[in-house]
Amino acid sequence: MSSQMTNAQVANKSVEIEAGDYTLRASTSKVTFDGFLKLYNETAEEDEAPKEKIPDLEKDDKLTCRKVLPKQHFTQPPPRYSEATLVKALEEYGIGRPSTYASIITKIQTRGYVEKLEKALAPTLLGRTVCKQLVAQFTDVMDYKFTAGMETKLDLIAEKKAVWNKVLEDFYGPFIEVVNTAMQNGERVKIESNIKCPNCGKPMLVRTSRQGNQFLGCSGYPECKTVMSINALTENLQSSEPTEQEKCEEKCEKCGADMVFKQGPYGKYLECTNETCKFRKPYRRSTGVTCPKCGKGTIVERKSKRGTVFFGCDKYPDCDYVLWNEPTGETCPDCGALLVKKTLKKGTTIECSNRSCGYKKEVVETQEDTQE
């Protein structure tokens, strides 16, 4: 909606003050008409602190120096692109068109080239590596002018001022030569992370499975076959020395020995410390609620094959009790079934897990919850 609104009007004021051998400059701006900023204003949250206004001054006015505040400022790097500033940069370089901006931003995030940190788009380790290799091997294609020039040629084809066969021929000939050179001379790229292997201490590499899923594998493979979830890159797991194995309170179901936490390509799992047993099972967050069906198991968080989170008894397959929402541990005052917590846009509610019951109550937020 904001793209259809009138432009904002901003009044800029700049003042130069002569102070002996020095010239001091001060500037400020004031929005005289909100326009589209009424709905879309990225800097509104960042500029919460009120700025001091410059008083109305006339030329040759005499000013009095009240105080000198010595401060040292260092040159800051340019800020990272946000989705809005990236679209603005694409427009300035003539890359893409309005119909493709959304797909460009979506694609670089879904492929893992960038990740959204607050409002900024930060490059990932994979994105930096891919960009570095493409710039080194395909210098001309990765140039801003190439993409902008190709957009112009496509417009000429649409206007029937250029022949599409000729345009493709001029591009494909030199391009396929560069591709063949890269295929022959290019080396296998190893994407090295800053995480050390918890078993041997060697750097962990970003690898891709046959199914296309990314994970971290030890660079000492095949001597060391340690693997970790790719999520470890965003977690604080880096250590200069191999980390100690984290023990858990749960005992092995097969031999009764202690179990330890380990990281695999699909996340955290439990492994028996007994060398002759080595029993493994996936780690599932416990809700602490006893299964109402079998009375022996505990309701834990699980994931379906499609990645959907649900809650079920840890005694599966002996007990097949499941819930789609997290149980609170309380029972319904009407039918006695477990109450579950549902979080929606309108807020959080507590409902009965029995669909035929219909019991529901609103969650009352305490002062402690609000502070958290």
Average pLDDT over residues 72-88: 87
Q: Does an H or E element contain 134, and which?
A: helix 125-137
Work out whether the CA dihedral 208, 213, 219, 224 comes out positive or negative.
Answer: negative
Mean pLDDT to the nearest integer, 184-194: 77
pLDDT, one tens digit per residue, over 2-31 is 677 888 888 888 888 888 888 888 888 888
In this predicted model, what pLDDT tens digit does every residue of 119-134 receive, in sequence order?
Answer: 889 888 788 888 888 8
d(CA 288, CA 120): 38
Residues 49-74, mean pLDDT to the nearest whole number: 77
Q: What is the pLDDT of residue 278?
A: 78
| Confidence (pLDDT) at 43 | 55
The strand ranges marked E within the chain are: 9-19, 22-33, 114-117, 120-123, 191-196, 203-208, 214-218, 227-229, 246-251, 258-264, 267-272, 280-282, 286-290, 298-303, 309-313, 322-323, 326-331, 338-344, 347-352, 360-362
The pair of three-digit structure tokens given for residue 56, joined into one six-digit string: 């109305």
Quickly tell me which residue has 């010239």 as its tokens: 23
Instruction: Please report the pLDDT score of residue 366 as a whole number.
Output: 46
Residues in a beta bridge with 152: none
Cα dihedral across residues 80, 86, 88, 90: positive or negative: positive
- Do the beta carbons of residue 207 and residue 216 sit within 8 Å? yes
pTM score above 0.85: no
Structural domains present in the chain: 1-73 (no CATH), 83-185 (1.10.460.10), 196-276 (no CATH), 284-320 (no CATH), 325-372 (no CATH)
DSSP state of 232: G
Per-residue pLDDT tens for 299-356?
888 877 766 778 888 888 888 888 888 888 888 888 888 888 887 666 678 888 888 8
Tell me the two tokens of residue 112: 């893992």
Residue with tokens 């009120």: 50
**pLDDT value at 369 more than 50:** no
Burial class (CB within 10 angstroms; exposed 0-12, middle 13-18, buried 19+) of 35: middle
Per the CB < 8 A criterion, the answer to whether 247 and 260 are in contact is yes
Nearest to 201 by CA among 228, 231, 236, 240: 240
The continuous run of DSSP H or E covering 178 comes out as helix 164-185
- Which residues, including other chains, have CB under 8 Å from residue 56's CB and lie 6 or more apart? none
Largest CA distance in the chain: 91
